[in-house]
Amino acid sequence: MNVNREAGEGVVPVPIYTVEAQGLSMQVSPRRGDSLTILQGVDFQAEQGRMTGIVGPSGSGKSTLLYCLAGLEKASAGRVSLLGQEITGMGLSQLTRFRRKHLGFVFQSYNLISSMTVEENLALPFTLRGQRLPRERASQMLDYFGLLPQRKQSVTQLSGGEQQRVALARVLLSDADIVFADEPTGALDQEAGAKVIEILRSLVAGGNKTVVLVTHSSQVADQCDRVVEVVDGRIAQHRPQGKVLV
Ligand SMILES: Nc1ncnc2c1ncn2[C@@H]1O[C@H](COP(=O)(O)OP(=O)(O)OP(=O)(O)O)[C@@H](O)[C@H]1O
């Protein structure tokens, strides 16, 4: 959130939209001659310093929307801009570089490399950028997440909640500007899920980061600053604070 100081008008907050999409559509052909429309003309915005939730019935297109916004899937039509840069026109290598530099992902499947240790998984975003893992910050992060004793263990030896915390620690450590999360609490018990949301909330509280997440959980939606509902591939409604309709 920026502030605009105009004479006589006091301080007017100006939202910075770090995620913007216009007219996103997605058609796939599951079988030859068949066409399935997953998204239809979706306009979407997410603001810096805010956590935006995407909710809706199963199969409504939430994950597809998230993947298109994150540049992991290419929409059939429409435009996506992240941090003011249009990613829809980027070539694959430019998009990959952009993703590595600016984006973080937290998926239900944890997105960890199972053949690697906890520490090696943390180092991955740095290795991909040609950098070294900042060891002291990594240790502090692992300590914060209660994972220091497991740092040399393979991630396959950890519980679901611990793996999700490794994925979160990696995103926080990599200092991503925008974090996309698909059902980040889906596989966790209530306590572990609450901790994950607390961490994502603390991330946006600094004001510079943006979180966009997909969730089925009304408790998680209530923790979002804004909630967007997707029904049958279209935006059905936007709700600030998960409560009031606009
Ligand atoms: N590549 C694909 N080919 C065929 N069908 C697909 C493809 N991707 C998604 N779908 C279908 O599109 C619909 C929307 O999928 P999506 O995963 O975006 O929904 P969702 O709202 O996230 O669902 P859920 O809440 O159950 O995870 C589903 O019916 C899914 O089976």
Each of the 246 residues of the chain gets a pLDDT tens digit; together they read: 555 544 455 676 777 999 999 999 999 987 777 889 999 999 999 999 999 999 999 999 999 999 999 999 999 999 999 999 999 989 999 999 999 899 998 886 667 888 999 999 999 989 888 889 999 989 988 988 889 999 999 999 998 888 888 988 898 888 899 999 999 888 777 887 888 888 899 889 989 999 999 999 999 999 999 999 999 999 997 766 544 333
Is the beta carbon of 1 within 6 A of some atom in ligand 1? no
Protein residue whose Cα sits closest to atom 7 of ligand 1: 28
Which of 219, 229, 226, 152 is CA-nearest to residue 192?
219
φ, ψ at 228 (rounded to 5°): -115, 125
Is the beta carbon of 75 within 6 A of some atom in ligand 1? no
At the topology level, CATH places domain 17-240 in: Rossmann fold (3.40.50)
Site to probe by mutation for ligand 1, drawn from 64, 185, 228 as the one with most ligand atoms within 8 Å of Cβ, is: 64
Protein residue whose Cα sits closest to atom 26 of ligand 1: 58
| pLDDT for the residue 241 | 58
| pLDDT for the residue 199 | 85
| pLDDT for the residue 1 | 52
| pLDDT for the residue 110 | 65
CA of 233 to the centre of ligand 1 (A): 10
Pair of tokens at residue 96: 């990959």
Residues 6+ apart with CB under 8 A from 74: 68, 88
Q: What is the ipTM of this complex?
A: 0.95
Q: Which residues of 36-61 are buried (b: 16+ CB within 10 A; e: fewer)?
A: eebbbebebbbbbbbbbbbbbeeebb
**H helix runs in 116-210, sequence order:** 118-128, 135-144, 160-174, 190-205
Rg (CA), the chain: 19
Is the beta carbon of 59 within 6 A of some atom in ligand 1? yes
CA of 127 to the centre of ligand 1 (A): 32
- Return the ligand 1 atom nearest residue 38 CA: 12
**Exposure of 156 in the CB half-sphere (CA atoms within 13 A):** 4
| pLDDT for the residue 245 | 38
Is the beta carbon of 170 within 6 A of some atom in ligand 1? no
Amino acid letter, residue 51: M
Domain boundaries, the chain: 17-240
What span, in angstroms and rounded, lies between the C-alpha atoms of 117 and 49? Answer: 32
Amino acid letter, residue 86: E
Site to probe by mutation for ligand 1, drawn from 27, 62, 69 as the one with most ligand atoms within 8 Å of Cβ, is: 62
Q: β-strand 178-182 against 210-214: which pairing, if any?
A: parallel
